[in-house]
Homo-oligomer: A and B are copies of this chain.
Amino acid sequence: MFKVNEDYLKLPGSYLFSTVGKKFRAYQADHPEKKVISLGIGDVTQPLTPSTISALHSAVDEMGKAETFHGYAPDLGYDFLRNAMAEEYKGRGCDIAADEIFISDGAKSDSGNIQEIFGRDNVIAVCDPVYPVYVDSNVMAGRTGTYDETTGTWSDVIYMPCTEENGFVPQLPERVPDIIYLCSPNNPTGAALKKADLARWVDYANENHAVIIFDAAYEAYITEEDVPHSIFEIPGARTCAIELRSFSKNAGYTGLRLGATVIPKDLASADGHSLHPLWARRHGTKYNGAPYIVQRAGASVYTPQGQQEIRDLVGIYQKNAAYILNGLKEGGYTVYGGINAPYIWMKTTNGMTSWEFFDYLLENAQVVGTPGSGFGPSGEHYFRLTAFGTYENTVEAVERIRRLG
């Protein structure tokens, strides 16, 4: 008599972005005449750049001929891509070897799966608010205790509130966690940890034998000098940090799927178990590599031409971010983020809850965003807008919101 994983049943409601999508589609179905603009889910809208398109076509041609056909990829990724990423680390002054980089189908899978190599009794700490996958995947693994509907928190999770008061910078928690999730630049607040902030975290993790899972998915949006693009720019990170990398937001690969996880060989638990071979074992057992054609595309991003193209691509979204940030500010709204990130973190008006504000914007401005409370209790009364729309839609969305004000 089989039994289901009861930890799955503890998850309240459905995945945030599925709910947003459902509400969006329901409204559109009821009001087919209205043009709804989505600045909700963090999906990009610009096409893939010429280097990627051309790399894909070439790789597809290779797959059509016996002499150049590629079957199963090496478990951990093709050397041509791992080497290209290792070179980038070198250029940033980070000591990361190619064989410490595990190629994957994206940061969502990796950030959901990485908890698996840790014991069930580890205590996690998360920024509040933050990308929901960190908490949800730990709920599914039975690591989070019980859910309190009133506070929207789990009994065994350490929340690090990121609020207006602390400039959205997570503070060292009183209770020491075993696993610390940091996302910088942060999704959803758009706040980024400065070098000194991150160094404090690295020291703290090393002192306490904690591990930091550092999600660097938005590093391409950093514009300020003293904000590190990688945690491995910080001395000491090799013994305490895992880094998650994504091609989704820099190269626009949300529909192509490519990412990587970096685990230094120096990283081990206090009782001497290295994490690198455990993650390699997970890849070897439960994963069969990212498609050859996609890995070839990923490598094209690291050519000089590819680098220029993604700078231009990111530039388009950065322009949108600045437009939203400044436009809403001028309109009298309280807004944060947008400088080192493609996300604008907006305070709701008239004391509305995040979901009330979601409905309000959808009904009155036909603009879809993401309710801040979906990212954690401290996200209540906030709202996330993304810079990933087209410029025209972004401008129109800002105007529509300003008209409400």
Contacts and interface: CB of A to CB of B under 8 A. Distances in A.
A122 B1 CA distance: 8
Contacts of A64: 47-48, 50, 53
Given A69-B45, A210-B1, A285 B15 contact: yes
A391 to B, nearest CB: 11
Q: In which size bucket is the chain A interface?
A: 35 or more
Contacts of A287: 108-109, 112
Interface string A295-324: 000000000000000000000000000000
B288 A8 contact: no
Contacts of A329: none
Interface in A269-311: 269-271, 273, 275, 278, 281-282, 284-294
A278 B4 contact: yes
Interface in A10-25: 11, 14-15, 18
Contacts of A390: 66
A119 interface: yes
A256 B291 contact: yes
Nearest to A3: B119
Interface stretch (A71-79, A83-91, A361-369): A71-79
B210 A71 contact: no
Contact of A71 (B43, B179, B293): B43
Interface string A366-398: 000000000000000000000000100000000
A114 to B, nearest CB: 10
Contacts of A244: none
A117 B142 CA distance: 12
Nearest to A6: B119
A17 B66 CA distance: 23
A108 B286 contact: yes
A392 B317 CA distance: 53
A11 B277 CA distance: 12
A25 to B, nearest CB: 11
Interface stretch (A26-34, A92-100, A133-141, A147-155): A133-141
Given A105-B288, A137-B285, 6 more contacts: A45-B71, A48-B69, A66-B390, A105-B257, A106-B288, A112-B286
Interface of A: 1-6, 8-9, 11, 14-15, 18, 41, 43-48, 50, 53, 56-57, 60-61, 63-66, 69-73, 75, 105-106, 108-109, 112-113, 116-122, 133, 136-137, 140, 142, 178-179, 208-211, 252, 254-257, 269-271, 273, 275, 278, 281-282, 284-294, 390
